[in-house]
Each structure stands twice: as structure tokens, then as C-alpha cells.
Amino acid sequence: MFRKIIMSFLALWLAAVSQPISAFAWPLIPAGSKQDWALPTTVVIIDAGHGGIDGGASAAEILEKDINLAVARKLYFILRSQNIPAVLNRTGDYALSDDNRWHITRSRHRKDLSQRRQLTQEIDSELLVSLHVNWSKKSSEKGPLVLHQNSGESSLLAFCIQDALNRQQNTSFLPREGKPFYLLKRIEEPAVIVEMGFISSEHDRTMLTDSKRQMEVAEAIASGIRQYKWIIH
């Protein structure tokens, strides 16, 4: 009896292996089931400008890329603590251009910008805030400036953040349209570039390199984002 069982099993096994592999391959997903291919989603993409070999603007040994990242990290945690989902596109000192293998160009700057834009296409988001620091030949130039796209929602977002930064830094500037900027021209969702101050100004540089003052800047930007969301919703 046992011999018959063994022989029957061998017969079934031989029949199976003689068939095409595809007919007996065990599916990774049960037939008829649905697979979730949804991309990551968030509310705010925080773009920490520059990074790695690209230091951005500078004064003495102070580099813009370090200020951008420090404030971006603080803004990220503030938004998350306020239940506003956020994604930070650079968490360390590296260039996003290093991750770009698809843009055929010798320009590291173009690769960097196109990689930042690509992330906005991979991550479903409501808005993008790109953090930067300004520079001027005139050391007397100081204060925040928010640049926006040629759209109502972007203009509104810029106004809300500019107003909050004006109150934080005791200034009275108005946001401007950033016509020549790649990110503002190529990103579809509402986006702004936040120039948090002038690294060439001793007054602003002192603020932008102090951890507590950086927190004040981040809180002001978060306040502007909350105001924007309150208005549009």
C-alpha cells in the first residue's frame, strides 16, 4: 500500500515538471487580489536648498546649505507636531544631483534642480516650500523675501509666509513673483522659495546661525503654512 502511494506521488510530480513553468509557478499575489501601487503622499515637501558640493551663498566660513538644512529640520518637526504631514527632501549634507542618473547633462546644477522637481512628481503633495538664504553686495541689505509662482494659490502661500516672517523679523516686505527660477516654473503644485534672510548681513547672519533664532524662523514659516491652509480649506 505504501509503495502504491509513493508511486502515485512520483507520477503526479513527473506530470507537473513536464508542464511549462508558468503553468505551475506559485503567484506572489493571489489571483484576483488588488495591489496598492499608491505613491507616498504628504501635505508639505520641504526643500532644503543646496547641499554637498553645492554650498550656496557664503560669508566667511558660513555656508547657506548648512543654514537651510538646520531650519528645514526644525520646520519638519514643527509641522509634524502640529499634525501637518511633511517630507524633507534632504536630511544630510549631500547633493541631490548625486542621485540623478536619468538627466543626461554635464551640469550638476541642472541635475540638482531636476531631481528636486522629480521628487514632487513621485510624492503626492499639496505644496512645496524651498528654503534658501539671500546674498547681496550691500551689507545693509537684510530681511526675508518670499518668491512665488504666477498663480493665485502660490501667491497666497507666499503672502502668508512673508507676513509671518515680517512679524518675526520686524520687517515689512512684500512677496514677489520669482519668474526666472526653475522650481517655480516647473512644479505644478503651489510652491514658494523662502529667502530667510541675507547671509551677507551681519544682523541676519547672527540670527540664521543661532539655533534658537532658527527655531523662530521655522515657527514663522510653519505659521504661514497653517494660515494658508486655513484660508484655502
What confidence tens digit (pLDDT) does each residue in 113-167 have? 555 556 766 777 799 999 999 999 999 999 999 999 999 999 999 999 999 999 9
pLDDT at 53: 74
pLDDT at 124: 79
What is the distance between the alpha carbons of residues 16 and 19, in angstroms, rounded to a whole number?
Answer: 6
Task: Give the pTM.
Answer: 0.77
Alpha helices (H) in the chain, listed in sequence order: 2-17, 21-24, 64-81, 108-122, 152-169, 182-186, 202-208, 211-232
pLDDT at 23: 36
Find out whether 89 and 44 touch, Cβ atoms under 8 Å: no
CA-based angle 232:47:112, to the nearest 5? 135
Non-local (6+) Cβ contacts of 150 within 8 A are 177, 179
Task: Please state, as a whole number, how many other Cβ atoms lie within 10 Å of the Cβ of residue 143.
Answer: 19
pLDDT at 159: 98
What is the distance between the alpha carbons of residues 163 and 224, in angstroms, rounded to a whole number?
Answer: 7
pLDDT at 26: 30
pLDDT-flagged residues of the chain (< 70): 1-40, 94-118, 120-121
Non-local (6+) Cβ contacts of 230 within 8 A are none
